Amino acid sequence: MPVTHSPEQTIASDRTVRLLDTTLRDGEQAPGVSLSPDEKVEIARSLERAGVSVIEAGSACTGAGERQAISRVTDLDLDARVTSFCRGMKGDIDLALDCDVDGVHIVVPASDRHVEGKVGTSREDNLENTAELVAYAKDHDLWVEVIGEDGSRADLDYLERLAETSLEAGADRFCFADTVGHTGPEHTHEAVSRLADLGPVSAHTHDDLGLGVTNALAAVSAGADLVHCTVDGLGERAGNVALEEVAIALDHVYDVETLDLEEVYDLAQIVARATGVQLPPNKAVIGENAFTHESGIHTDGTLKDDKMYEPYAPETVGRERRLALGKHTGRAGVRAALEEHGVEADDDEVAEIATRVTELGDRGRRVTDADLLAIAEDVTGDDRDRVVDLLDLSATSGGAVPTASVRLSVDGEERVASGTGSGPVDAAVSAVREALGSMADAELESYHVDAVTGGTDAVVTVEVTMVRDDRSVTVARSEADITRASVTAMVDALDRLLAADQQPLAPADD
């Protein structure tokens, strides 16, 4: 349900606003990020599923490998327009044409700092060169957007002249670029308003001042109908404006639809895995904590009315609500967590379990599912025999191929297995799966190395979440060795999942 606005709302619900995703170009310019052609293809397909209108696949001028990746994306024959970034030179346009793109973004200087200091030209020569580049690209049947680089620091009168020159030469649109995340919403609104009077205008904002979304919305309210974004807010320095944040803000606040929001979370996870950039837990929309409640007051309120402490339903963006356990958790939250795991407890037992959960949280511990279940078993006296237990583990990575062997107790039966992998942890996990056979069909949903202490007694803490059918269990284990911590956590999670099935374990596959 969108927020109700007065008639003076700045973005009307009947506005058509589209999103241009530049994760594959500007997002990849984030330090340490490099995407393979296969990864670009996977992300492009995900963007298509989400309904993104324009996909900037890369910069054809970067090199042969980049051109191969762009060509792979254009070969997908997507409904989205596929484009390439081009510097202000005809050679870049030719390279983009070789990739069979639908359009180009011709980036030309807008501020005097860039016109004179970076490019070493004059304002008038810059206008002439821009007109020639646009005409050349249009002669080759390309969709053309001219981006006025550093537009937020440009003289507005000159920025207008640059936009007018671009549009008169045949450009399909002009983009206002806050290249260094320098400006605020008031200036953005003024600049875009003046540009929108000339023709179609886009907005490209960065988050250096934490104003990426604010400036993007200011641009839309001023007349922009295309917003440049990146998934997860990837980008240089503090990043670009996040696609998922712009999309939910337009939908929730102004009732303006831009894409299929239910695809947003899966898209964010795909990009995070491909780039290796982990999502901050408090990240809006897609962070782990976005729909997680620990506080007793908030948990109790959410259980009574799921709109009590959430701006919109998590299902809107492909998420699920989660009740976390910790020092702030009250009885209602503990009872809900126990019911989720199928544990029965009376009021007195719930009160005792809640007290112990709080005590554990007071010691600085994050309370996992395994912690809760262990406390519950102790309080209720409902002890159980383990289904799976790790008896021994050895792993080596000195040779060409990392190998590992494990000895497990599985429903009272001892099993030994070995495995190989890309590293000792991967090899040990393979060995565990080999030992358990087809019953180890749980998926490793998340794997985090949460903390490493220093000194000679260094300890690493590994937290894993494993999912089997419609059940998930989170376990954290601390050991001196990351391989042992990882395998112990995984085995403990599998033990909990298998015990919940209450069915005999099948023998290992031969």
Q: 201 or 401, which is more confident?
A: 201
Write the DSSP symbol of residue 114: I
**Cα gap 465→492, rounded to integer Å:** 11
What CATH class does 18-275 carry?
alpha beta
**261 DSSP 8-state letter:** G
Residue 244 to residue 267: CA distance in whole angstroms: 9
Domain boundaries, the chain: 18-275, 292-380, 388-501
**What pLDDT band is residue 458 in, cutting at 50, 70 and 90?**
low
How far, in Å, CA of 20 to CA of 255, rounded? 19
Q: For residue range 202-256, what is the model confidence (pLDDT) as tens digits?
A: 999 999 999 999 999 999 999 999 999 999 999 999 999 999 999 999 999 999 9
What is d(CA 111, CA 191) in angstroms, rounded to the nearest whole number? Answer: 13
Q: How many CA atoms lie within 13 A of 307 on its CB side?
A: 4
Beta-carbon contacts of residue 7 (< 8 Å; ≥ 6 apart): none
**Residues forming beta bridges with residue 406, ordered by sequence position:** 393, 417
Q: How far is the CA of 359 from the CAs of 151, 351, 362, in angstroms? A: 55, 12, 5
Residue 231 near residue 247, CB atoms below 8 Å = no
CATH number 3.20.20.140 given to 388-501: no
Q: Which parts of 183-263 fold into alpha helices (H)? A: 185-196, 212-221, 243-254
At 359-413, the pLDDT tens digits run: 877 777 677 777 777 778 778 777 677 888 899 999 887 667 889 999 999 888 8
Interval 303-349: pLDDT, tens: 565 676 778 888 999 987 776 677 777 787 788 778 777 778 888 88
- Helix (H) and strand (E) counts for the chain? 16, 16
Q: How far is CA 391 from CA 57, 278, 461, 497, in A?
A: 50, 33, 20, 19
- Cα(263)–Cα(428) distance, integer angstroms: 33
Sequence letter at residue 421: G
Tell me whether domains 18-275 and 388-501 share a fold.
no
d(CA 491, CA 483): 12
Across 180-200, average pLDDT: 97
Between 350 and 76, where is the model more confident?
Answer: 76
Give the pLDDT confidence of 245-271 residue by residue, as tens digits: 999 999 999 999 999 999 999 999 999
Cβ burial 343-376 (10 Å sphere, 16+ → b, else e): bebeeebbebbbebbbebbeeeebbbbbbbbebb
What's the CA angle centered on 302, arms 300 and 305, to 5 degrees?
110
